[in-house]
Copies of this chain bind each other. A is one copy, B any other.
Amino acid sequence: MAEALNRPELTRAARPSTFEVNAVNERGESVATAIAGEYPLTLYLDKRELVTLMTLGAAPEYLAIGYLRNQRLLASVDQIAAVQVDWTTASVAVTTRSMADQGIALWDRAPPQAGLDARIGRRTVTTGCGQGTMFGDLMDSLDELRLPANASLSQEVLYTVMDNARRHESIYKVAGAVHGCALCSNAGNDRGEILQFVEDVGRHNAVDAIAGWMWLEGIDGADKIFYTTGRLTSEMVIKCAQIGVPFLLSRSGLTQMGFELAGRLGLTMIGRCQGKHYLLFSGGERFMALGTTSLA
């Protein structure tokens, strides 16, 4: 994937991530406690209100772009002319080039843009909280997704990712109540290094923000590893496959549907990554354990 030909105009409107409040502990002592920010952010696509996200606000521009990508409401980042976050109105306005250049809204035009109304019309409330929003036909289009068969992940690199994720500075360590996602390298001399790390009060926001950053920077997922602190539910598996990353790692567990989808998509999924422990649930043919060539 090449970098966006015409880079969209972006605001840089991150919000403060933590706040200090006073709490009272079990001994009756007042304890200054850091808590995570949470802000409503209403997403407008060419002046059309799509949805209101509740977010930490650390990467609102990436979040907006990634949301449109993962919901398949835009086909290419090159369609985006501008992403403007305005916290005074709690809004992020995404303007497409079709609108910017011709004053024509995306959904007024011919396919593939047609059908946006139909996609927006159908909601799937997904598992992150059990009630996320996935528009339209994501589930129907899974079989179009192809992950690289020749990619491989070594146990050494897996441990490097786990160690980097554990040591990474985070809002979670300070305030809790957030989920983190990291995109890591699986190529060259920096295998296992964290390329991008995003936290959000919603773990789906965190993965969407990374998807948006990848789109914006023209970063391909084939030689990357995706790490999340969150559970491996159907939506996490789908989003990882949508951004083309063949390796999905989590500190947490998984659901049956996440497991089935990972198998169907050919995703290498590793859960319960803690300390030196992990459980490889699918895609073992891509995994190289210490002193072996493959577990497959």
Q: Which residues of A does B touch, CB under 8 Å?
A: 19, 21, 23-26, 28, 31, 33, 35-40, 51-55, 123-133, 139, 155, 175-177, 200-206, 231-235, 252-259, 271-272, 276-281, 284, 289, 292, 295
Contacts and interface: CB of A to CB of B under 8 A. Distances in A.
Contact of A277 (B19, B25, B205, B277): B25
Contacts of A133: 123, 125, 131-133
A125 to B, nearest CB: 5
B124 A126 contact: no
B21 A176 contact: no
A276 B25 CA distance: 10
A40 B124 contact: yes
Nearest to A28: B289
13 contacts: A25-B278, A25-B280, A36-B255, A38-B255, A40-B257, A54-B127, A127-B129, A127-B202, A128-B129, A130-B200, A130-B205, A175-B253, A177-B233
B126 A21 contact: no
Contacts of A206: 130
A35 B132 contact: no
Nearest to A41: B125
A281 to B, nearest CB: 5
Nearest to A139: B40
A202 B279 contact: no
A273 to B, nearest CB: 10
B201 A130 contact: yes
A237 to B, nearest CB: 10
A264 B127 CA distance: 29
A264 to B, nearest CB: 14
Contact of A279 (B25, B139, B175, B289): B25
Contacts of A53: 125, 130-131
Contact of A255 (B126, B177, B258, B259): B177
Nearest to A255: B38
Contacts of A130: 53-55, 128-129, 132, 200-206
B289 A124 contact: no
Contacts of A281: 21, 23, 33
